[in-house]
Amino acid sequence: MALVGLNMVSFALIDPITQQIIKGDEGLSADGLYKVDAKDMGSKTANITGLVGSSAKRYGNNVAQQVTYGAAAPQVAWDGLNLDFDIKQKIKGFVNDGKGGWTPADEPAHIAVLIESGSLSGGSVYFGFGNCTAVESEANIQTDDDNKQIVDDALTISALDTIAFNHKPFKIYYSKDTEFDEAAMLKDVMGGYVAATGTTGTTGA
C-alpha cells in the first residue's frame, strides 16, 4: 500500500516510568495531546527509519537457510515549519528557568508520537510510537540575502520499548480496517489519552 502525504503529527509528554500521558501545565496541553496543525504551519516531513533491525544469514549445507533480524530501533527525522517555542523545549525535555530561558535537563523528556499519512487505497495509515526521546542536534542559522533564510524545526526522535505495545517500539494502524478504533489507538499510543466528551483531542497548548 502506497502512502500519500503527511496528514498530521501529534505529540504528548509521558511519564518515563508509567508511560502515562502528562496533562495540564506540566504537559503539552490541558488534556496532554498536542497536534502540529495550522497554528504551527504543520509538519513538512517525518522520515521513519529502523523499523526492522539488522539482518544476519544462517548457513547450513553451504547455503543460506535462514535470515534473522535484530530488534527494531526506529527513529523519526521530523521537520516542522514553525512549532511553538515552548512546546518544542518541553518535547526536548528542557527546563524553564522562569526568566525566559530554557536549559537542557540531565535526561531528555519521554514523549509519545503519532504520525498520520494517507494511502492510495483511501483512509489513513498511522505510525504510533508510545515511548520516545527527542533531540535537536543543530541550528543552522544563516544570514538573509535577497531571500529570507528560514531554518525549520528539526527533531530526531528515537523510539523505545512501549508497555502498551507489549514492549515493542511501534505499532501501525489502518483506518479502513474493520476493527479500527481511533479512541483505542489514541489511548494506546498516547499513554492512556481519553478525549473529553464531544471532542477529538486538543490542538493547542
pLDDT band, residue 7 (cuts 50/70/90) = very high
Mean pLDDT of 167-195: 97
Q: What angle do CA 11, 136, 87 make, to 5 degrees?
A: 40
pLDDT band, residue 205 (cuts 50/70/90) = very low
Query: Which has more confidence, 78 or 145?
Result: 78
10 Å Cβ neighbour count for 52?
12
pLDDT in the model for residue 69: 86
| Average pLDDT score over the chain | 93
Give the Cα separation of 193 and 184 in Å (integer).
Answer: 9
pLDDT band, residue 71 (cuts 50/70/90) = confident
Give the Cα separation of 36 and 120 in Å (integer).
Answer: 23
Q: What is the DSSP letter of 170?
A: -
Q: pLDDT for 116-159, tens place per residue?
A: 999 999 999 999 999 999 999 888 888 888 899 988 999 999 99
Mean pLDDT of 77-96: 97
Over 90: is that where the pLDDT of 196 sits?
no
User: Strand pairing partners for 67?
Assistant: 57
Q: pLDDT for 147-180, tens place per residue?
A: 999 889 999 999 999 999 999 999 999 999 999 9
Domain boundaries, the chain: 3-54+67-141+163-189
Over 50: is that where the pLDDT of 204 sits?
no
Hey, what amino acid is at 119? S
* Predicted TM-score (pTM) of this structure: 0.90
What are the Cα distances from residue 11, in Å, to 23, 34, 60, 165? 12, 5, 47, 17
Grid cell digits, residue 137:
542536534
Q: pLDDT for 10-32, tens place per residue?
A: 999 999 999 999 999 999 999 99
